[in-house]
Structure 1
Amino acid sequence: MTYDVLIIGGGPIGIACALEAKKKNLSYIIIEKGALVNSLYHYPETMTFFSTSEKLELDHIPFISKNPKPTKQEALEYYRRVATSNQINIRLFEEVESVKHHDQFIEVNTNKTSYATHNIVVATGFYDIPNKLGVKGEDLDKVKHYYKDPHYYAMQNVVVVGASNSAVDAALETYRKGAHVSMIIRGSEIGQRVKYWVRPDIINRIEEGSIKAYFNSEITEITQSEVVFRNNKGKETSITNDFVLALTGYKPNFKFLEKLGVKVEAENNYIPIYDPQTMKTNVDNIYLAGVICGGMETHKWFIENSRVHAAMIMEHIKN
């Protein structure tokens, strides 16, 4: 079978693309290298969304939450039910390895089999590749680029790197589970994009001394027992440490885009080249959807404002 469209990525936007393909009577398949909505599955267990539930809905299918802001578990339940009730055609735990263009179709090879399709939609998000610190000792087991559960860090000396939503959540949650928390922050303040109901909390904890924050500072080395960092005046400090949560953000898989032939603007935060009216890239019959469209500007696209990509893409393919 040759599909009308093959969607790479089984997150919320990939599912949205599948729903739109069904509405347009286009044959489709989703290839996802992990679990259903894999990125959401790997979010911290206690995570609460910034958006309200209606802004996370797909295809006007109601997302009912008992909280003003839905939790990770509620989102997993919602997207799972959307996928199962609509009998979404998806292959999980299958990874795309290569893509080859032929005259009449595109051949997509995975680690399990191969597919033929007329079009490809890349909806792979950005959560798979962490932004590394690039310092000695970063490869130690004590350094974590993903954060799951605060209980693990109880009674430990924890350094949290960064001042974004994920870093602030980790600092507050581990502190409240009994960790001794220090934050090493490159800038001069807690990030302005931190959730508005959380930002005052972390500022108050820092001001009262419950959480120690080192602003205008960067880590220079990590050892088994310490973290060494330097401030913007050149002063170097070391503190005792058991774990480092390097929550400095994530980036899309640019190497995969390059393998597909999709151009990115290196001088402009690696934003991929695409038509904003159709989401078509510089490569014939390859489209982008979701967060990956923002390149390194990972705060630009979210579920709530990139759901529209699905309809734009499927309309263009149908026509």
Structure 2
Amino acid sequence: MENKKDIIIVGGGPIGIACALECKKRGWSYLIIEKGTLTNSLFNYPKNMTFFSTSEKLEIDDIPFISNNPKPNRDEALEYYRRVVTSNKLNINLYETVKTINKNDNEFTVTTDKANYISKRVIISTGFYDIPKLLNIPGEDLPKVTHYYKEAHNYALQNVVVVGASNSAVDAALEIYRKGGNVTMVVRGETIGERVKYWVRPDILNRIKEGSITTYFNSELTEIKENTVTIKTPEKRLTLNNDYVIALTGYLPDFNLLKTNGVTLSEEKRIPNYNPETMESNIKGLYLAGVICGGEETHKWFIENSRIHAKLIAKHIESINT
């Protein structure tokens, strides 16, 4: 049966690809199902993004990742993971969305928007980049508001508010400022995030100090209108002229996909239930890999420290099969 596999892998990012490589080495029939393009989250990163990690820490299955830079950029990563998939002829269905995963006896039925699949085991490695943390304020649904940042050119000569103090918010603010945009940052905390890339952090702090990028700390956006925004600061409420709002306040995993399939989540931070030695969830035969293991703590897992998940899963399945 064509749609019957040993393993279905949900998510075609770097960790899903790593899981597929482990399956292929062992001769297991498998299929990656990805709702977007290959490495969809990386594709949606800003065009000029540079990774915090060096290239060797982004490698999977000891396949060399050669970069022209000390820290690889988005385009180099896309090329690397694409070549890993194509050169290894991995089985992957793109632009197909998993709707439900149901377990009956010792098999899973995976239903997508295109087909039904039967598998002995399922690995969920869907990452966290698809569901933004919303501000939940009036006007957030206006066309001028986005929760993703791609490039700076279209913000030139515009009044832009960037919400957040993470790597993505800092990168957006600096790039837009250097392309001629009038940038204002709104930061809930009292300073720029401590996890901002060490070679970028001095740059943003200096731009703030010199007044090139106006920044309101301990503040929050309270309302967005067609031509203005309202900011609540410790001193008062401000209304600023505004053309665009880029709300880079973080993203969340698809908790519904986990919960509807019986994976339990902790009350705090919604961390899924899994065995860290095998990556098997509380549902026998259903495994978790990558960032999704961190629940709301999306900074806990990333490519370089979750590559091992693929090998842990394969080792556990292998021990069961023998």
> CA–CA distance in 2 between the matches of 1:105 and 1:240?
57
Match of 1:249 in 2: 250
> CA–CA distance in 1 between the matches of 2:107 and 2:213?
57
Q: How do 1:289-304 and structure 2 match up within 5 A?
A: 289-304=289-304
1:62-112 CA-partner distances (Å, limit 9, x unpaired): 000001110100000000000000010100000111122222421111111
Higher mean C-alpha deviation, range 308-317 or range 103-112: 103-112
Match of 1:199 in 2: 201
**Cα shift at 1:248:** 0.4
> CA–CA distance in 2 between the matches of 1:10 and 1:240?
41
**Cα shift at 1:298:** 0.5
Q: 2:92 aligns with which of 87, 90, 93?
A: 90
**Post-superposition, which runs of at least 4 consecutive aligned residues in structure 1 deviate over 4 A?**
none
> CA–CA distance in 1 between the matches of 2:106 and 2:256?
26
Match of 1:286 in 2: 286
Matched residue SS, 2:259: helix
Q: How do 1:80-229 and structure 2 match up within 5 A?
A: 80-229=82-231
Matched residue SS, 2:256: helix
Matched residue SS, 1:4: strand
Which residues of structure 1 form unaligned runs of 5+? Answer: none
Match of 1:263 in 2: 264
**Cα shift at 1:22:** 1.3
Whether 1:53 and 2:55 are equivalent positions in the alignment is: yes
Matched residue SS, 1:266: coil
Matched pairs, number:
317
For the aligned residue pairs, the C-alpha RMSD in angstroms reads 0.8
CA contact (8 A) 1:26 1:318 kept: no
Matched residue SS, 2:312: helix
**Cα shift at 1:313:** 0.4
- One-letter amino acid of the structure 1 residue matched with residue 309 of structure 2: H
CA contact (8 A) 2:100 2:257 kept: no
1:257-307 CA-partner distances (Å, limit 9, x unpaired): 11111011022x111010000001011110000000000101000100000
Match of 1:307 in 2: 307
- When normalised by structure 1's length, the TM-score is 0.98
- One-letter amino acid of the structure 1 residue matched with residue 246 of structure 2: L
Matched residue SS, 1:6: strand
**Cα shift at 1:27:** 1.4
Q: Percent identity?
A: 62
- One-letter amino acid of the structure 1 residue matched with residue 305 of structure 2: N
Q: 2:70 aligns with which of 44, 68, 71?
A: 68
- One-letter amino acid of the structure 1 residue matched with residue 290 of structure 2: G
CA contact (8 A) 1:290 1:303 kept: yes
